[in-house]
Amino acid sequence: MSDDLAIEVRNLVRVFESRKGFFFGEKNRTEALKGVELLVGRGTIFGLLGPNGAGKTTLTKILSTLLLPTTGTVRVLGHDVVEEASWLRPRIGLVLGGERGLYNRINARENLRYFADLYGIPPVERDRRITEVLERVDLTWAGDRRVEEYSRGMKQKLHIARGILHRPEILFLDEPTIGLDPKSARETRKLVRSLVVDGVTIFLTTHYMFEAEELCPQVAVLSKGRIVANDTIGGLRQRVGGDRTIEVEAYGFEDRELSLLRGLPGVSHVTGEEFGPRMRLTLRVRTWETTPEQVGLLLPGHPELSVRERRTSLEDVYLDLVEEEAN
């Protein structure tokens, strides 16, 4: 494994087996991860995207030594997650978020003291480190309040404080802003960026496309247990048809018109979606040869035609890749 890599995954398979039926005689086998290959560099924020049930949490748990792989090789910080888990655990931070993982009836400092003892932080350093992380996540003012009095955003900050308490080299964040109000989510993203400045590698799973686009220089898309794409945002845009998207809305389109649009220079593909009585066509455009004005000229029989151009978003890319995998 190269010293530049924080994560190296080769042909990772994870199978879950369960029993059902009368007297549990029928064995059920679910392949959650199917030959995953993944490389993540050090000192960056790497984004993992995917629909529910794609295997994101399973992959995160394997990378953080909470779950064993069925087959394949997984190395984090140059060390095998199975054979060298005891070496890795003190160097890994994991933030699953939500309401679990904190003790509501005690205050934030007491929570952090408990986890500091679990991490093996020496008592002489413990309180100083707790003060540092509370300040880092802007919770110093609430450090002596019971966690049950915290808002969801405050709890999420405390989760992150717990995750960085022992100064990990790599931090796994599983949907860190889910359910947060816009202000709390923005503060969390700012905190994540500041951790990278300190040299921490961040492995981020999220459902929020704009969040991944804002934070992650590189993202992978996991669908049905497989990595279907792994590239920069710009590289992914080119993969699905380019930076430009032209949207056309009207009260229905004829097959002949769709054929004309597909034949325009630089148009990689055209998809349609119904909005009540109206239909929206989405054109992915690779070049600058085709303009919205040209598109409008091909559709003269639509008096209430709407044509607009925008940049292809990561959400567009994600939906195209997941749809492509489904087909």
Interatomic CA distance for residues 237 and 209, integer angstroms:
13
Would you say residue 324 lies in a domain? no
Would you say residue 326 lies in a domain? no
Q: Do 52 and 184 have their domain in common?
A: yes
Q: Do 169 and 297 have their domain in common?
A: no
Q: Do 256 and 227 have their domain in common?
A: no
Would you say residue 318 lies in a domain? no
- Of 209, 236, 263, which residue is a domain's last? 236
Q: Do 129 and 231 have their domain in common?
A: yes
CATH number of the domain within which 10 lies: 3.40.50.300
Would you say residue 323 lies in a domain? no
Here the contacts of 65-71 (C-beta below 8 Å, separation 24 or greater) are 65/89, 65/92, 66/94, 67/14, 69/12, 69/13, 69/14, 69/33, 70/13, 70/14, 70/15, 71/11, 71/12, 71/13
Would you say residue 325 lies in a domain? no
Q: Do 248 and 102 have their domain in common?
A: no
CB contact at 8 A, 36 and 71: no
| Exposure on the CB side of residue 265, measured as CA atoms within 13 A | 6
pLDDT at residue 98, rounded to an integer:
64
Q: Do 220 and 253 have their domain in common?
A: no
Which burial class, exposed, middle or buried, applies to 300 when counting CB atoms under 10 A from its CB (0-12, 13-18, 19+)? exposed
Q: Do 74 and 155 have their domain in common?
A: yes
CATH number of the domain within which 269 lies: 3.30.70.2730
Would you say residue 18 lies in a domain? yes
Query: Whole-model pTM?
Result: 0.87
Q: Do 119 and 227 have their domain in common?
A: yes
Total domains in the fold of the chain: 2
155, two tokens = 């709890």
SS (H, E, C) 10-66: EEEEEEEEEEECHHHCEEEEEEEEEEEEEEEECCCEEEEECCCCCCHHHHHHHHCCC
Q: Do 96 and 213 have their domain in common?
A: yes
Which burial class, exposed, middle or buried, applies to 26 when counting CB atoms under 10 A from its CB (0-12, 13-18, 19+)? exposed
Q: Do 83 and 59 have their domain in common?
A: yes
Q: Which domain holds residue 18?
A: 5-236
Would you say residue 136 lies in a domain? yes
Phi, psi of 252 (to 5 degrees): 90, 155
Q: Do 159 and 278 have their domain in common?
A: no
- Of 186, 203, 236, which residue is a domain's last? 236
- Of 208, 236, 264, which residue is a domain's last? 236
Question: Which residues of the chain have a pLDDT value below 50?
Answer: none
Contact residues for 184 (Cβ-Cβ < 8 A; gap 6+): 151, 152, 153, 156, 157, 177
Would you say residue 316 lies in a domain? no
Q: Do 49 and 183 have their domain in common?
A: yes
